[in-house]
Structure 1
């Protein structure tokens, strides 16, 4: 019996070692694969348009991975540099005026431009805080990301004096979700960072940041002030 228990214990240890190794190796392998695939995809798009004299693949005995990606990054940076001055803005403005005359292309371009400006532009900012709201009904709570104060017509038509715009992410894909306009008094700010809250959403609650203490019931109310957003 003791020999059988020893074998079972050894098999459990081996299984645990394997699972531990898998947890470490799998994310690294998947990340490396996706990175390599992305580099190859961009190289396949960009390299055919690089003049042969500047393409190292034409005079080296091996292909240079990532050269197309570096070229694309350089060109995008140069376009950004050129549009920062008056001449560049004039050229871009002329190109956009041509696109405005094409009905379908105009709608597609403006939509994509607005999306990229919202996601990437520095002035648009990003989620700064995670919070809790009662959703989808009273007594059930959901993690949200605070975006900004509610503005414009939406703010003017809401009965509440102070409302904020929050993003309610879905699990396990936090890039999709719902835009909600919530009264400021109904939002509980969390101490965890946005990154920690995103990990919690992605893992369906399996990954949760440590918290040093448990709040007493009376202090779980919305006592923490929500700073004004610009």
Structure 2
């Protein structure tokens, strides 16, 4: 009976604990970014060091303001030119250019809707014949990697419970079965370790 209650309590509190942990990590990161300039400003105006709640509040507001300014900036010619110069500069920095370039391409694909953009949920045999899992179509046409790969698709297979890590496999399009599920439903299934079954049926 005690073991049953412990397990029930664990599974009840675990989502809350994970959510609080993620929010705390974001809060700590924002505070760390703005702590130095805010402390320097406080000392320059003969004020005491700002409390933690003030650092968090200002950090959140400053981040939102920065995002709004950058979004407005890239909406005009001068802003787009500055972004192009930044792209060129980052591509000349060793190590950084690889991380920046791949991240930029991924976000651009998702934003513009090119390729699969992880919006198509499919059923694919993985990791061996006879075993199936859900994946996301990353792009169509793998001829750049495999001769005759025009009929192949790149499928991203997320791992549980962290779907941000996973595997990318190239599969013949005929062996990939579309599934009538949204990306959110498929991600929920992966995060839950297959416990939460999404609604929807695989197409024949």
Q: TM-score range by the shorter chain?
A: 0.7 to 0.9
Computing the radius of gyration from Cα coordinates, the structure with the larger value is: 1
Match of 1:128 in 2: 119
2: distance between equivalents of 1:143 and 1:91? 40
Match of 2:36 in 1: 48
Quickly say closer, same or farther: Cα 1:62–1:89, change in 2 above 3 A: closer
What's the TM-score once normalised by structure 2's chain length?
Answer: 0.73
2:72 aligns with one of 73, 81, 87: 81
2:197 matches 1:208: yes
1:28 aligns with one of 12, 16, 26: 16
Report the number of matched residues.
196
What's the TM-score once normalised by structure 1's chain length?
Answer: 0.66
1: distance between equivalents of 2:84 and 2:61? 27
**What RMSD, in angstroms, separates the aligned Cα atoms of the two structures?**
3.5
Match of 2:163 in 1: 174
Contact 1:167–1:177 (Cα < 8 Å) also in 2: yes
How big is each residue's C-alpha offset from its partner over 1:10-32, in whole Å with a ceiling of 9 and x where there is no partner? Answer: xx3x6655544443333223322
2: distance between equivalents of 1:148 and 1:94? 28
How big is each residue's C-alpha offset from its partner over 1:68-88, in whole Å with a ceiling of 9 and x where there is no partner? Answer: 122023113212311221122
Secondary structure of 2:137 counterpart: strand
1: distance between equivalents of 2:127 and 2:22? 36
Contact 1:46–1:69 (Cα < 8 Å) also in 2: no
Q: Which runs of 5+ in 1 are unaligned?
A: 1-11, 213-219, 225-230
Quickly say closer, same or farther: Cα 1:26–1:127, change in 2 above 3 A: same
